[in-house]
Amino acid sequence: MPIPAIPTIPLITFPLGGTPTDLDNTIINFGNGNNQSVTATDDINTDIITFGSGNYQSLTAGNSISDDIITGGAGANQSVTGGIIGNDTITFGNSASTLCPPPPAASSATT
């Protein structure tokens, strides 16, 4: 009997290139840098997403963010933005907003 193949889950780390239409069934780890962003023009669904300790980290979908497990990090001003946010489990950490500098010019908005 053949051994079933173990499904491969894409692991996304920074730096990344391009702006995909969808980001589905992925593991997304933000690093500890500031101003990190992940953007999909359409959907971000069924992902495991972890923010790091950097400030101004963001997750953005043009349409829906659904069925994800999203965990915030220690950084401040982290955000999840989508047309629809549904059926997700989102846990943010403690931010240190008083220590946050104003956002500098974005260093990268790539995925």
Partner 1 sequence: MSAAAGGIVGNDIISFGNGNNDSVTAAGGSVISDIISFGNGKNDSVTAAAGSISGDIITFGTGNGDYVTAGSISGNTIAFGSGSADYVQVGASSHDKITFNDGSNTTPDYVLVSGDISNDTISLGNGKGDYVTAGVAAAVGGSNDTISVGNGAGDTITLTYTGTIPTGEATGGDTITTGTGLDTVTVTAHTNPDTFGFALGTTASSYTMVTGAHTGDQVITASHNLAGTSNSNLHDEGTGTNLTSMYNAVIGAISADKGQTYIGSDGFNTFIVTDVGGTTATVGVIELVGVVFDSVATLRWCGL
Binding site for partner 1 (CB under 8 A): 65, 72, 76-98
Between 70 and 111, name the residue whose CB sits nearer to partner 1: 70
Least distance from C-beta 3 to partner 1, angstroms? 36
14-18-109-89 Cα dihedral, nearest 10 degrees: -70
CA distances, 1 to each of 4, 8, 38 (Å): 9, 21, 41
Between 11 and 96, name the residue whose CB sits nearer to partner 1: 96
Between 10 and 21, name the residue whose CB sits nearer to partner 1: 21
Structure tokens at 24: 């589905």
Give me the DSSP letters along 22-76: EEES-EEE--S-SS-EEEESSEEES-EEE--S-SS-EEEESSEEES-EEE--SSS
Least distance from C-beta 102 to partner 1, angstroms? 14
Least distance from C-beta 11 to partner 1, angstroms? 24
Least distance from C-beta 4 to partner 1, angstroms? 32
Between 19 and 95, name the residue whose CB sits nearer to partner 1: 95
